[in-house]
Amino acid sequence: MTNAFPSGCHLIQLCVKGDERGQLVAIEGTSEVPFAIARVYYVFATAPDAIRGFHAHRALNQLAVPVAGSCTMVLDDGRGRISVPLDKPAVGLTIGPMIWHEMSDFSSDCVLMVLANAAYDEGDYIRSYGEFLALART
C-alpha cells in the first residue's frame, strides 16, 4: 500500500453549518462536487465482514460520503494501492475513472452515500481485475 492518492482521487471537506440544535451538510451541484450530479445511491445494512466493490469505471466520476458510521475504501490505479478510512460525514472521497475500488470494515451503522456524474451503465464497469490492470497500464 502507498500513502499517495491516485490521480482523480482526493478527500473533499464539505461545508458544515449548524448550531447547538445540530449540524447540516448541503451538497450542491458543482459548488462542492467537482462534477454535475446525475445519480445518487447509498449502501447500508452491510455485514461488517463484507467486502464490496471489486470494480472500476471507464468514465464515471463519484464522490463517496459516509453519512453515518464508517468503512474503509481501497483505491488502486494499477500502479499502487491506498487504503482510506471514511469516518467523517463532512468529508467525501472523490473516485475518478479507471480506479479499482473495494470497500470493507463496515461499521454496523454505516450508510455510504455516493454521488455520480452519470446514470447507471453496466458497460462502464470493469469487473475483472486482470482486464483493469491491462487497461490501466496502457
pLDDT at residue 136 greater than cutoff 70: yes
pLDDT of residue 87: 98
Query: Which sequence spans correspond to the domains of the chain?
Result: 10-136
* Per-residue pLDDT band at 30 (split at 50, 70, 90): confident
pLDDT at residue 21 greater than cutoff 80: yes
pLDDT of residue 13: 93
* Per-residue pLDDT band at 3 (split at 50, 70, 90): confident
Q: pLDDT, tens digit, for every residue of 112-135?
A: 999 999 999 999 999 999 999 999
CA angle in degrees (0–180, nearest 5) for 42-66-80: 100
d(CA 126, CA 53): 11
| C-alpha cell of residue 118 | 452519470
Q: pLDDT, tens digit, for every residue of 35-84?
A: 999 999 999 999 989 999 999 999 999 999 999 999 999 999 999 999 99
Active site members: 55
* Exposure class string for 42-66: b at 16+ Cβ within 10 A, else e: ebeebeeeeebeebbbeebbbbbbb
* Per-residue pLDDT band at 2 (split at 50, 70, 90): low
pLDDT at residue 97 greater than cutoff 70: yes
Architecture per CATH, domain 10-136, reads as Sandwich (2.60)
